[in-house]
Amino acid sequence: MPEAVETLDGWYALHDFRKIDWTAWKLASEDEQKQALNEFQELYANWEDVEQNRQGSVGLYQIVGQKADLLFLNLRPTMEELTDLETSFNKTKLAEFLIPAYSYVSVVELSTYMAKGKDPETDPELQARLRPVLPKWDHICFYPMDRKKGEGNNWFMEEKDERGRLMYEHGMTGRKYAGKVRQIITGSIGFDDWEWGVTLYAHEMLQFKKLIYEMRFDEVSARFAEFGEFYIGHRKEKEDLNDIMSV
Ligand code: VOV
């Protein structure tokens, strides 16, 4: 029987996609709109404090296309903290104007195919990867994915060494994009409908397409990858929401 690879698991992640209910928002009074935006700024400032204190991380993104309008991405040391945070957000005035579009629950994950025997509890590089500050890069791309479990190609029936070889090749393609694309891989087996979440950051949108296209030709993607829906967008500061919501 092929052996499972050990994973290193870091902070939990909640990708919370919402659509703006423009009809309801336009019907709201100016006072109500102001109140909703101010209350949100306060909540978001708390999330930023958490990031400052290295107890989590946060990002706000405006999504392109019809699947969603906004993404609120939070990382926390425990899933309970994410549940609480989600509940607090849902209680805000602003949330009355936001329609849930999609969500993804996962945990920052590193596989150990290429482990160098470092202690994840003390090694600063591993710590930074397991408990990342979300990059303040301009653009984001998120999609969930699976590994195939078909009769011909079944990832979970491949020997560990072979999986390691394929992941090494994958890593080499990724390394060509150093400085152009950053990846945060989150594991979601047992947590959500797909096996992994892929969150990518870039300074230039086109780099997502270039990287993902090139990776399609890597054996691991060509033979074993299955993808969910893609979401792309732009990073925003909390103050930018005032402009986005201005009608
Ligand atoms: C900037 C690009 C980039 C780079 C450098 C990179 C490197 C690496 C390394 C070195 C490793 C293995 C060790 C670890 O760190 O876990 C991984 C791991 C992983 N990756 Fe990756 N990946 C990238 C980018 C990248 C992309 C674009 C995708 C989506 C695939 C595609 O076709 O659309 C992806 C997927 C994954 C997954 C699902 C895993 C976990 C697989 C498992 O079975 O455990 N990844 N990845």
| Structural domains for the chain | 7-245 (3.30.70.1030)
Q: Is the pLDDT reported for residue 115 higher than 90?
A: no
The mean pLDDT value for 147-166 works out to 97
Q: Is the pLDDT reported for residue 25 higher than 90?
A: yes
The pLDDT score that the predictor gives to residue 53 is 98
Tokens 């482990």, located at residue: 115
Work out whether the CA dihedral 158, 161, 163, 166 comes out positive or negative. negative
- The model's confidence at residue 114, banded by pLDDT at 50, 70 and 90, is confident
The counts of H helices and E strands in the chain are 8, 9
Q: Is there a binding annotation on residue 221?
A: yes
Residue type, 161: D
The pLDDT score that the predictor gives to residue 155 is 98
User: Picking from 52-61, 71-80, 111-120, 121-130, which range would have the lowest pLDDT averaged per residue?
Assistant: 111-120
CB neighbour class for 234 (10 Å; exposed up to 12, middle 13-18, buried from 19): middle
Q: At what angle do helices 160-175 and 206-216 cross, to 10 degrees?
A: 150
CB neighbour class for 51 (10 Å; exposed up to 12, middle 13-18, buried from 19): middle
Answer yes or no: are the C-beta atoms of 51 and 58 closer than 8 Å.
yes
User: Picking from 66-80, 112-126, 154-168, which range would have the lowest pLDDT averaged per residue?
Assistant: 112-126
The mean pLDDT value for 20-26 works out to 98
For the whole model, what pTM was predicted? 0.97
Tokens 């709109």, located at residue: 33
Q: Is the pLDDT reported for residue 36 higher than 90?
A: yes
- The model's confidence at residue 139, banded by pLDDT at 50, 70 and 90, is very high
The pLDDT score that the predictor gives to residue 117 is 84
Q: Is the CB of 60 under 6 A from ligand 1?
A: no
To the nearest whole percent, how much of the chain has pLDDT over 90? Answer: 96
- Burial string for 111-127 (b: 16+ CB within 10 Å, else e) reads bebeeeeeebeeeeebe
Check 143, 177, 201, 231 and give the catalytic one. 143
The mean pLDDT value for 27-53 works out to 98
pLDDT per residue as tens digits for the range 161-218: 999 999 999 999 999 999 999 999 999 999 999 999 999 999 999 999 999 999 999 9
What ligand 1 atom has the least distance to the C-alpha of 177?
1
Q: Is the CB of 111 under 6 A from ligand 1?
A: yes
Smallest CA separation from ligand 1 atom 11, residue: 171
The pLDDT score that the predictor gives to residue 41 is 97
Distance 172 CA to ligand 1 centre (A): 10
Alpha-carbon distance of 156 to 148, in angstroms, equals: 8
Q: Active site includes 44?
A: no
